[in-house]
Amino acid sequence: MVIAADDSLAHEPWLVVADFQETQGRNAGQVYLAARLDVRLFDDELSDLVTREVQGGWDEAKGRFFAEKHTKISQIIIKVDTGIAPQRADITAALLEQVRVKGLTILNRDAALIQLQYRVELARYYAPEHDWPCLTDTHLIATLADWLGAYIEQVNSLAALAKIDAYGLVKNRLSWQQQSLLDQLVPTHWPMATGTRAPIRYQMPLDANGDVDHRDAEQGRALLSVRLQEALGLAQSPSILHGKMIVTMELLSPAQRPLAVTADLASFWQGPYVEVKKEMRGRYPRHLWPTTQ
């Protein structure tokens, strides 16, 4: 809405417009009839039309939280007061919104948390009778207030938010019984005959949004990396989830370099191991390379 530059009302901050017309091809209508409005009326005769509310959020450019008091008539903002201290509820809401917008990566989402998500999704697929909670990124973001909101009441910055124990909070979505059962069905480590607790890494298919694809969980994989000598006591590949998933073995040289990857350890001992043994005996003569397994 525009007014002619030579009009006596052109420099008035507030006007009551009674007549204006829009012209095709122009972004604003032309004011033809208006009167000056004394803004002080909003504090007196027109005060019933005025509402005031405090709005806050995260200022991306300045890297801080902010709060403003907006004085409004309907949706028209007539005054903005800045420099207001944000309320705790506003800071919490702004933090949660940052997680919704930017994703779980702004939390302390480490490898342990990702592995927990994969393990639970495998359990949901292969052992659904135990009523596992959904821990995918999409679901966690949709339920942020439930599992994160109460634990960030003392957090006032994104830097502090990144130090939150996200793994512990997400793990607590499981009951104690479910946590114990998960360790049995989808363990984080496998005990070797040598006494080593070899870590198991889980891999899961992802959907178009980069989230775990529960529907395709049968394409998931459990990968155990261990020195070949430590696997000599295993005749068969380990299995998890009551035998529903075979653990893929990544067998390493004494120098921790990959020698073979197999989900059928019995066949490996009878076939490929023969050639591996010939090569490794020459390189590492002090290590055990038995003829048969």
Together in a domain, 243 and 281: yes
- Choose between 280 and 142: higher pLDDT: 142
Q: Is residue 293 scored above 60 in pLDDT?
A: no
Together in a domain, 111 and 167: yes
The band of 25, judged by pLDDT with boundaries at 50, 70 and 90, is low
In a domain, 58, yes or no: no
Q: According to the model, what pLDDT value does residue 82 have? A: 82
Together in a domain, 198 and 272: yes
Together in a domain, 149 and 230: no
268 burial (CB, 10 Å; 0-12 / 13-18 / 19+) is buried
Together in a domain, 214 and 168: no
Quick one: average pLDDT of 166-184?
97
In a domain, 45, yes or no: no
The band of 211, judged by pLDDT with boundaries at 50, 70 and 90, is confident
* Number of structural domains found in the chain: 3
In a domain, 282, yes or no: yes
Does residue 89 come out as left (phi exceeding 0), alpha (psi in the -120 to 50 range) or beta?
Answer: alpha
Together in a domain, 207 and 252: yes
- Which of 146, 173, 200 terminates a domain? The answer is 173
Cα separation values, 241 from 170, 186, 231, Å:
22, 6, 21
The range of the structural domain enclosing residue 125 comes to: 103-173
- Which of 151, 173, 195 terminates a domain? The answer is 173
In a domain, 97, yes or no: no
pLDDT in tens, 225-262: 999 989 988 899 999 999 999 999 999 988 889 999 99
In a domain, 207, yes or no: yes
Together in a domain, 32 and 121: no
Quick one: average pLDDT of 264-275?
90
- Choose between 54 and 149: higher pLDDT: 149
Joined tokens for residue 5: 């530059």
Average pLDDT, the chain: 87
pLDDT in tens, 53-79: 877 777 877 777 888 888 888 888 878
Low-confidence winner among 73-82, 108-117, 239-248, 284-293 (lowest mean pLDDT): 284-293
Together in a domain, 226 and 137: no
Q: According to the model, what pLDDT value does residue 191 have? A: 93
Q: According to the model, what pLDDT value does residue 125 have? A: 93
Q: According to the model, what pLDDT value does residue 118 have? A: 95
In a domain, 179, yes or no: no
- Choose between 7 and 188: higher pLDDT: 188
Lookup result for tokens 């261990």: 226
In a domain, 90, yes or no: no
Between CA 3 and CA 28 the distance in angstroms is 10
Together in a domain, 18 and 107: no
Which alpha helices (DSSP H) does 103-216 contain, by range? 111-126, 137-142, 144-147, 158-161, 166-171, 176-185
Q: According to the model, what pLDDT value does residue 216 have? A: 76
Together in a domain, 214 and 246: yes
Q: According to the model, what pLDDT value does residue 157 have? A: 86
